[in-house]
Structure 1
Amino acid sequence: MSPPPRLSADDRRAQIIDAVTPAVLELGATITSRQLADAAGVAEGTLFKAFGDKESLLAALVEHHMTDAEPDLDPRADSVADVVASLVPVVVERMRFMFRLVIALGPIAQRVAAERRDDFERSKRWIAARFEPFAHELRVTPLVAADVLRTLAWAAAASWGEDEPVSSVDDIMQVLLHGIVGAPGAESGAEPAQGRRPDASALEPVEA
């Protein structure tokens, strides 16, 4: 049996980053090179050979996760509600992960985020592309819709100092599809039924 093919240097670095990410999220920037090596299952010398030093590894980790390829979403969507239902859970989960990473690594993550802002902004463009086929149904451009979705997702992910997120995935979907004004006769602040998909009819243009 022939031996497995050797990983390229880039693939090896990515493998190490994926292996150490849980430990970095738990321990933050105070994690030691020994702890990183243990998490990766390699010798410290291997880490230094691949990344140079600990801070370079942590910066590479942030960059790796910030520049992840767009998620593999179901391309089939029959309505704006379908697009929102497929996007919001994915974007909120990604924002929660990035928020945890920024909290864990502080200035290192902030520096990389500032340097790679174009990569982060790319997510807005792929979200907008999902809205594009339904642009004629939107009150705003697909790019604005993408920006609002990301803003609400970040608010839910960050929690703004609350112990638990104030906004849920369903809240975001309701606001995106219906706004914050309830339908006439509806109970103020009523909780939506669990698992109910927002009614896309609320997106129909209002008659003048």
Structure 2
Amino acid sequence: MPDTQVRRERARPMSPEERRDHLIDTTLNLLREHGRAVTTRQIAEAAGVAEGTIFRVVESKEELVDLAITRAFEPGALIERIGEIDLDQPLHARLVQLCSILQQRFRATFELMKKVGMVRPADHVHDSPEAVELREYVHALMEGVIGADRNRLSVSAREFLHRLRLLTFAGSHPHITDGQLLTPEEIVDTVLHGLLRSQPAEEETD
């Protein structure tokens, strides 16, 4: 390919939608480092645009920050990563991989919320029709990870995943765990097998 054509392709201007997405993603990355103290100058420099470009996309920095925080709660790469789980692995291995993906997601979200001073996500993050539809899609993907092994469970696949996600959420939070985070293996073993010994230990007698 001639050099002039390569330069022309590299210089292709972004569409308004692409520019908006680029600014939102850039802002989200900076929020994880600087919190709400991030400036429009920092955003513009990181995005490789003039500072005035930001205000042709949004009306204020606060609007861009809100859009970035909302983006953080969208499934995004979570969907891709769940789809990459090797379904030919044993159930335990599949669940550990799923749990690891969820844990990384939760921990990144906790860190972001701490940085921006959030106690809980905004209602629209979970209650909008789009959010509900995406959540159902992610649930279906996770049920697909269990696959035919759902017949081995004593509860429905949805209930099993509900408990797995709850323990992953709690076990990934630094305050809930008093700083002793659970590993994906510990979480999966607890949900799959519980904490009883396979053979009860003999009771001590006086």
The reply to whether TM is greater than 0.5 is yes
1:162 positional shift: 5.3
Distance 1:115 1:107 in 2: 17
1:56 corresponds to which residue? 63
- Alignment of 1:138 with 2:153, yes or no, is yes
Distance 1:113 1:105 in 2: 16
> Aligned letter for 2:80?
P
- Alignment of 1:157 with 2:172, yes or no, is yes
Query: CA offsets per residue over residues 100-124 of structure 1, 9 Å max, x none?
Result: 2222223497225345552673333
Q: CA RMSD in A?
A: 2.6
Verify the 8 A CA contact 1:124 1:147 in the aligned structure 2.
Answer: no
Verify the 8 A CA contact 2:174 2:181 in the aligned structure 1.
Answer: yes
Q: Does 110-119 or 38-47 show the bigger shift?
A: 110-119
Verify the 8 A CA contact 1:156 1:166 in the aligned structure 2.
Answer: yes
1:76 positional shift: 2.6
1:167 corresponds to which residue? 182
Distance 1:91 1:47 in 2: 33
Distance 2:172 2:109 in 1: 9
> Aligned letter for 1:124?
H
What stretches of structure 1 of length at least 5 have no aligned partner?
Answer: 187-208
Verify the 8 A CA contact 1:29 1:104 in the aligned structure 2.
Answer: yes
What stretches of structure 2 of length at least 5 have no aligned partner?
Answer: 202-206
Distance 1:48 1:109 in 2: 28
Verify the 8 A CA contact 1:59 1:108 in the aligned structure 2.
Answer: no
CA change 1:8–1:133 in 2 (3 A) is: farther
CA change 1:29–1:115 in 2 (3 A) is: farther
Residue aligned with 2:179, SS: coil
| Aligned match for 1:82, one of 85, 93, 104 | 93
Distance 1:23 1:33 in 2: 11
Residue aligned with 2:42, SS: helix
Residue aligned with 2:121, SS: helix
2:193 corresponds to which residue? 178
Distance 2:140 2:117 in 1: 27
Query: CA offsets per residue over residues 87-110 of structure 1, 9 Å max, x none?
Result: 111111011111222222234972
Verify the 8 A CA contact 2:95 2:145 in the aligned structure 1.
Answer: no
1:113 corresponds to which residue? 125
Distance 2:173 2:189 in 1: 19
1:44 positional shift: 1.8
CA change 1:40–1:164 in 2 (3 A) is: farther
TM-score, normalized by length of structure 2? 0.76
Report % sequence identity: 23
1:200 corresponds to which residue? none
CA change 1:185–1:107 in 2 (3 A) is: closer
Verify the 8 A CA contact 1:128 1:142 in the aligned structure 2.
Answer: yes
